[in-house]
Amino acid sequence: MRIIDMFSYAFSAIRLRKLRAGLTTLGVVIGIAAIVALLSITQGLQTAISSQLQRGFATDTLIVSAGGGLGGGNEFNLLVKDAQTIRELENVTASIAVIQRICYVKSSGLTRRVTVIGVDFVAYRDIYSSTFVAEDGEIPLNPEEDAVIVGKQVSDPWNNGTLFCTTGDTLEIIWTNTTARPLRNETYTGRVVAVLREVGGFTVGGPSDSRVYIPISKAQSFFGTETCELIIVKLKSDDKAMIDSTAKAIREALGSGVTVTSSTAVLNIISNVFSTIELFLAGIAAISLLVAGIGIMNIMIVSVMERTREIGILKALGMKNRQVLLIFLCEAAIIGFLGTLIGIGAGWSLAQIVVRIFGSSSGAGGLRQAGQAVVSNGTTITPVLTPTVILGAIVFGLAVTMLFALYPAWIAAKLKPVEALRYE
């Protein structure tokens, strides 16, 4: 029997039970749609985040922090002057200390809670030359002690042109000194010299839209500290061997209390986390496809029983066992293929709808807590449907339907002609 005739025979059988075939197909549609929607959203999220990360990260930098990992700290204190020690190491072109405190800033009667960063403006701009850029005003080469640079979101928090503060404004900075007894609010008045261009996305150590920057010397005196939270180290290049050897040198110079993190390592960790999440979600979605597969098996067993006599006729007319098997597999293939195609379309539409509903602003917000130094801003997610996902869905959808159809088809193939013909 020709393949085309097998398919047309299978198709005629499907057409006979439209509702049943439709419902069976629906199972496949739902399973595939779930997989495609989840994969295209997570991949979209991943693309969005990694593109933001690429922007916010300088791959030739190392982040030095105290204790166990990013932002953590125990007994060991990282000192501002450690930056000097690091600067003298081989392959290091710049090394700057970052002091970081939660403060309140007050401008024209309004108060906002922000993270204030004490940093050497010029060195910082050299490292993050594409993101630490003034949109308004100018980053001073020799900043006054009261100079303040604000992120875009601090200046324009409502994103509608109603500014909280802008270049030339004075900004009262209030910090609660928790080591003083009784607690005391320290206050000084700064002057906004520049508003940063919008950065967006995440960063480790790099500039962010929601922060306020003051000179490192002012931070030291105002917060009354010699310690810093991070030291950002810029290397000659992002060569892997150089990153590793310098990281080792830093650990040797400062002792085992420091953690040296390379930006690429952070990128890798984040992308690993995403792969895991993606796999997990796809796994859950795959279960729904398995359920659909069981549905197919169930329906097909019923169908084989109903059509026992028909199978007997086919065999009496000379059809071989293998051909009977193939006819039933063809039926499953038609349902599987149709269901998969519709499922891909449905999943893609679902992804678009989900992204619209949950919107751009909150999309990546869940990662806000991912690390003290990792910051998220509005990240727009566009679902991504790669050819790999499409092909994978087709292969997987077909494979599952065929696999579950195999047993019923085998039952059909094994029927004895006389017995099948006698079946009422």
Partner 1 sequence: MAKTIIKTVDLRKTYMQGKIPVEALRSVNLEVEEGEFLSILGPSGSGKSTLLNLIGALDKPTGGRLFIENIDVSTLNDNQLADLRMKIGFVFQFFNLIPRFTAKENVELPMAIAGLSKGVRGKRAEELLEMVGLASRMNHKPTELSGGEQQRVAIARALANNPRFLLMDEPTGNIDSKNAFEIMQLVKKLNEEKGVTIIMVTHDQRLAAEARRTVHMLDGMIVSETVN
Token duo for residue 93: 């072109």
388: exposed, middle or buried (Cβ count in 10 Å: 0-12, 13-18, 19+): exposed
The alpha carbon torsion through 409, 412, 413, 416 (nearest 10 deg) reads 170
**Residue that the structure tokens 């419902």 belong to:** 23
For 133, which DSSP code? -
Instruction: State which of residues 115, 249, 310, 370 lies at the interface with partner 1 (CB under 8 A).
Output: 310
With CB under 8 A as the contact rule, which of the stretches 109-117, 229-237, 308-316, 344-352 interacts with partner 1?
Answer: 308-316
Q: Which stretch binds partner 1 (CB under 8 A): 7-15, 129-137, 213-221, 337-345?
A: 7-15
**Among 238-246, 304-312, 358-366, 391-399, the segment contacting partner 1 (CB under 8 A):** 304-312
313-317, long-range: CB within 8 Å, 24+ apart, which pairs?
Answer: 313/421, 315/415, 315/417, 315/420, 316/417, 316/421
Q: Is 315 in the site for partner 1 (CB under 8 A)?
A: yes
CB of 395 to partner 1, least distance (A): 29
* Residue 189, token pair as written in the block: 């008045």
Nearest distance, CB of residue 19 and partner 1, angstroms: 15
| Alpha-carbon span 21 to 32, nearest angstrom | 17
Residues 317-376 interacting with partner 1 (rule: CB under 8 A): 317-323
Burial class (CB in 10 A: 0-12, 13-18, 19+), 292: buried
Binding mask 254-293 for partner 1 (x = CB under 8 A): ----------------------------------------
CB of 163 or CB of 326, closer to partner 1? 326
Residue whose CB is less far from partner 1, 367 or 421? 421
Tell me: does residue 399 bind partner 1 (CB under 8 A): no
Tokens, residue 195: 């508003």
Quick check: 306 binds partner 1 (CB under 8 A)?
A: no
With both helix axes pointing from N to C terminus, report the angle between 18-56 and 321-358 in degrees, rounded to the nearest 10: 50
Q: How far apart are CA 30 and CA 340, in angstroms?
A: 9
Q: Which residue, chain included where needed, has tokens 């009667």?
A: 109
How many of the other CB atoms lie within 10 Å of CB of 378? 18
CB of 409 to partner 1, least distance (A): 16
Which is nearer to partner 1, 16 or 291 (by Cβ)? 16
Exactly one of 13, 105, 123, 351 binds partner 1 (CB under 8 A); which one? 13
Judged by CB under 8 A, which stretch of 93-101, 114-122, 137-145, 312-320 contacts partner 1? 312-320
Confirm or reject binding of residue 305 to partner 1 (CB under 8 A).
no
H-type alpha helices, 225-380: 240-254, 263-306, 308-316, 321-358
Among 87, 112, 197, 309, binds partner 1 (CB under 8 A): 309
Q: In residues, how long is the chain?
A: 424
Least spacing, CB of residue 339 vs partner 1, in Å: 23
Interface with partner 1 (CB under 8 A): 1-2, 5, 9, 12-13, 15-16, 309-310, 312-323, 416-418, 421
